[in-house]
Amino acid sequence: MARKYFGTDGIRGRVGEGNITPEFVLRLGWAVGKVLAKKPGDKVLIGKDTRISGYMFESALEAGLVAAGVDVRLLGPMPTPAIAYLTRTMKANAGIVISASHNPFNDNGIKFFSGSGCKLPDEVELAIEAQLEEPMSTLDSAHLGKVSRINDAPGRYIEFCKRAMPIGCSLDGLSIVVDCAHGATYQVGPQTLKELDARVITMGASPDGLNINKNVGSTAPDALQKRVVEEGADLGIAFDGDGDRVVFVDHRGEVVDGDELLFIIAQHELLKSGAVSGVVGTLMSNLGFELALKELEIPFARAKVGDRYVKELMESRGWTLGGENSGHIICSDITTTGDGIIAALKVLYAMVDSGHSLADLKSGMRKFPQIMQNVRVKPGSNIMESDELQRAVTSVEAELGGKGRVLLRPSGTEPVIRVMVEGECADTVSRLCAGLSQKVESLVA
């Protein structure tokens, strides 16, 4: 069944528009409470990133859940993966995250975790959507939910993250610039690394409700690249606004993206254990990543873009490592969802254990030039079915001669077609991507 409200990662949009209003979120909280909590004492956790609108939506969710008779535990600003972890370990019925991830401050969203710390199954999302169509009611006062705040949530999560490193493993001697995107990791990210003895230089850690992801974080690493070189640091780490993505910068100021980080983790696990069951990437994963894993005889499979699809394919294959080139990395041997801090610690352990620099560790993978352009289309456009567009794609593929890839896909979060071309020659890739994007634009005009 088609979803009316839920997208590929919860519900997201511009604050005050569509479903991102306090009125809708109030009803959403009530619907979630009716579907997920069935008896007195059932509880739901609520966490958020640092957007100014988070206060408003936190209150709305809280009121809706309480009206449905559900107890609420407030976590405050915490990374999305922390909420997944705490939902599981505190035996809550669900965890709710108020965040628009890497989007600017004037967007926000609501996403959910089940009691097991995983994304909600399709059938549960559909049940919540059905409940939203029912008239909202409030229980008798004697049966309303209760609300309390979990004050030690950051400490619990930091201790969990530190366990990703082997006992006795220290980051002493490493100088790390940490960019928190003025987002949810601004406390726990630097503190975790400090407690593991790293020398930490923090940036992007002064949230004011309006500056989340603004010229900082994993989607805007320029400032981090400059800072790493200026400080003479060993590396830099950039999280996104809600902490489920991470990219690195090596000591030369070069960005190390999600594909390269996955390669480093897989390569190290192969060295330590002698075998890696396999790695899941996406349709956007660099061809060089696939070829590098093939050289190591590590199986590789591509999922549709989106962490839920990566996780589904990992589970179906019985593999424990997967992710996206954006830096959304899932290490299911440790946790249930993409976690920027956990992934960062896996990479740091590879560095410390091997004695090699980040630049050395990524050198086993040669990235192919890859360019992506977004072409705006009308919502509901069926341009992907155009025969003329398919002929244009076939022509580009023929010119690449089997030594590259072409991918056109509609975005799951905005009305755009993403046009990606990848190949051996950067100039050729740039020319072909520009030409194909122009073809898309001409067809939607």
The Cα 276–Cα 411 span in angstroms is 32
Q: What token pair was written down for 276?
A: 């890696």
The amino acid sitting at 439 is K
- Is 101 considered catalytic here? yes
Cβ contact 94:114 at 8 Å: yes
- Token look-up 């979060």 returns 413
CA dihedral 53, 308, 291, 222 (to 10 degrees): 0
Q: What token pair was written down for 230?
A: 């200026």
Cβ contact 58:49 at 8 Å: no
Q: Residue 258: name the closest of 242, 282, 274, 277 by CA.
A: 282
CA angle 382–385–439, rounded 5-degree value: 85
Q: What sections of 274-411 are H helices per DSSP?
A: 287-295, 307-317, 340-354, 358-362, 387-400
The Cα 247–Cα 238 span in angstroms is 5
Q: What token pair was written down for 21?
A: 């209003």
Q: What token pair was written down for 34?
A: 């009716």
User: Cα separations (Å) of 192 from 39, 157, 160, 334?
Assistant: 37, 9, 10, 16
The Cα 420–Cα 204 span in angstroms is 30
Cβ contact 112:36 at 8 Å: no
The Cα 76–Cα 60 span in angstroms is 14
Q: What token pair was written down for 228?
A: 């790493």
The Cα 248–Cα 347 span in angstroms is 9
Q: What token pair was written down for 17?
A: 């528009």
53, 99, 101, 114: which is the annotated catalytic residue? 101
Active site residues: 101
